[in-house]
């Protein structure tokens, strides 16, 4: 098996990404769920054969067949089948793992972070999920200047496959070669097919329908497939204009892409790349009609690629204080420390207890002390606050806080500051 390979330090980056995503998804009106990890095998029977081979099957003693969840988008859409009629289901966010067979038969464990929009807003919903993704990326330190956008339309892809006389298996092989831009292998495939010379020539040029939006749009519109796909091209142009209005300038058009390996996209598709790493940070698109959902679109973060960017391209991670207070605890007589910690938590401060060691330097070397905004020690009638970073605005706040705390019926009014 191939499991997620995050190191402990990586979770600081994942926490930052998850916290930002939760903040922005809430501001956009999304409800977070965690789709079940085990699902009914029959739900995936209509997937392309290449994908059903990636399902991790589970067989019960009774003979019933289940599988590990392979994709959160499909799981979220299936929830609409179980809701009472009239129940609103507009926006869903998720932070959940999926499992797939990878190369050489290994089981890949993948963390997916994304959102699904089921509103009937058309292209405005596309722009909304893209804006949400941009807000999150900027929030974790990835500048807009590093981002490159690709948009396409899976309907254009399907129209091409339907206009050539090839078996479904041959079409799938051909389109995979086009998507992967394997020109030599594609030309060899076309030469061995029974397609006309004109069809083969056009199909051999499809990998080149990628680049500057306006140039590719003009080329596609004037091609033999332009009339058949005019509605899709017009939809892409409308989306391009909306994205331009957001101030996005590096927008490329890629008409050689079918969306993703599941083939469930029904219209516009979009991807956000880092120019520095060359890797996709966000993918998404429309999947109208899935599981009876009339209109739907969504995005998913490639968490591994985002974390990699944050680790290798960002300035060294300045982890914010994780706790408001670290309260030093005398393990032989922990009563005062326990009570003052409880009083602070009652006032919505985050607090951790830290063992009071023989020297103050050893005490402060403990990671909890270094991760706290303030380190507080209770000694007799005095409360001692240690913080080398404390500024004037925090002094008055801490003073007022300690004046309110009553331990054993006494007020801790004295603050001794030590640096």
- Tokens standing for 83? 């809701």
In angstroms, the Cα distances linking 38 to 56, 290, 415 are: 10, 20, 55
Q: What share of the chain is helix, strand, coil (3-state, %, to 5)?
A: 40, 25, 35
Is 46 annotated in some ligand binding site?
Answer: no
Is 345 annotated in some ligand binding site?
Answer: no
Tally Cβ neighbours within 10 Å of residue 106.
12
Is 80 annotated in some ligand binding site?
Answer: no
In angstroms, the Cα distances linking 218 to 210, 236, 253, 265 are: 12, 12, 11, 24
Give the three-class secondary structure for 374.
strand
Query: For residue 290, which of 116, 39, 412, 134 has the smallest C-alpha distance?
Result: 116
Rg (CA), the chain: 28
- Tokens standing for 266? 């029904």
Is 71 annotated in some ligand binding site?
Answer: yes
Residue in the structure block whose two tokens are 């793992």: 97
What distance in Å separates the CA atoms of residue 143 and residue 338, rounded to the nearest whole number? 44
Give the three-class secondary structure for 304.
helix
Task: For the chain, count helices (H), then strands (E).
Answer: 15, 19
> What are the start-end ranges of the H helices in 79-167?
123-139, 154-162
Is 265 annotated in some ligand binding site?
Answer: yes
Is 305 annotated in some ligand binding site?
Answer: no
Give Cβ neighbours of residue 165 (< 8 Å, ≥ 6 apart): 194, 195
Query: For residue 367, which of 359, 375, 377, 379 has the smallest C-alpha distance?
Result: 375
Binding residues, as ranges, are: 71-73, 100, 112, 116, 264-265
Binding-site annotation: residue ranges for L-histidine: 71-73, 100, 112, 116, 264-265
């Amino acid at each position: 098996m191939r499991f997620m390979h995050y190191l402990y330090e990586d979770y600081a980056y994942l926490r930052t990404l998850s916290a930002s995503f939760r903040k922005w998804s809430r501001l956009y009106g999304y409800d977070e769920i965690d789709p079940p990890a085990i699902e009914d095998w029959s739900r995936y029977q209509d997937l392309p054969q290449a994908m059903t081979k990636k399902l991790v099957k589970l067989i019960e003693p009774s003979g019933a067949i289940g599988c590990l969840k392979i994709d959160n988008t499909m799981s979220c859409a299936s929830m609409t089948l179980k809701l009472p009629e009239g129940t609103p289901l507009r926006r869903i966010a998720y932070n959940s793992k999926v499992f797939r067979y990878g190369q050489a038969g290994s089981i890949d464990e993948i963390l997916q972070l994304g959102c699904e929009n089921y509103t009937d807003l058309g292209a405005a919903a596309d722009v909304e999920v893209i804006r949400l993704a941009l807000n999150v990326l900027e929030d974790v330190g990835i500048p807009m200047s590093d981002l490159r956008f690709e948009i396409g339309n899976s309907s254009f892809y399907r129209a091409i496959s339907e206009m050539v006389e090839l078996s479904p298996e041959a079409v799938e092989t051909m389109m995979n070669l086009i998507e992967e831009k394997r020109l030599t292998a594609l030309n060899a495939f076309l030469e061995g097919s029974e397609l006309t010379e004109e069809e083969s020539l056009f199909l051999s040029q499809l990998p080149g329908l990628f680049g500057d939006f306006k140039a590719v749009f003009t080329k596609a519109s004037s091609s033999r497939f332009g009339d058949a796909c005019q509605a899709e091209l017009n939809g892409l142009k409308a989306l391009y204009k909306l994205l331009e209005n957001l101030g996005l300038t590096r927008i490329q058009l890629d008409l050689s892409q079918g969306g993703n390996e599941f083939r469930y996209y029904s219209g516009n598709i979009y991807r956000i790349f880092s120019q520095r790493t060359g890797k996709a940070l966000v993918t998404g698109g429309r999947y109208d009609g899935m599981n009876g959902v009339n209109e739907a679109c969504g995005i998913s973060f490639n968490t591994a690629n985002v974390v990699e960017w944050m680790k290798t391209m960002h300035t060294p991670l300045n982890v914010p204080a994780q706790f408001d207070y670290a309260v030093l605890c005398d393990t032989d007589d922990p009563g005062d420390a326990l009570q003052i910690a409880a009083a602070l938590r009652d006032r919505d401060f985050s607090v951790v207890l830290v063992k009071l060691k023989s020297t103050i330097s050893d005490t402060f070397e403990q990671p909890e002390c270094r991760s706290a905004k303030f380190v507080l020690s209770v000694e007799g009638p005095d409360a001692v606050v240690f913080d080398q970073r404390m500024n004037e605005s925090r002094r008055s706040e801490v003073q007022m806080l300690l004046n309110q705390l009553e331990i054993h019926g006494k007020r801790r009014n004295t603050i001794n500051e030590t640096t």
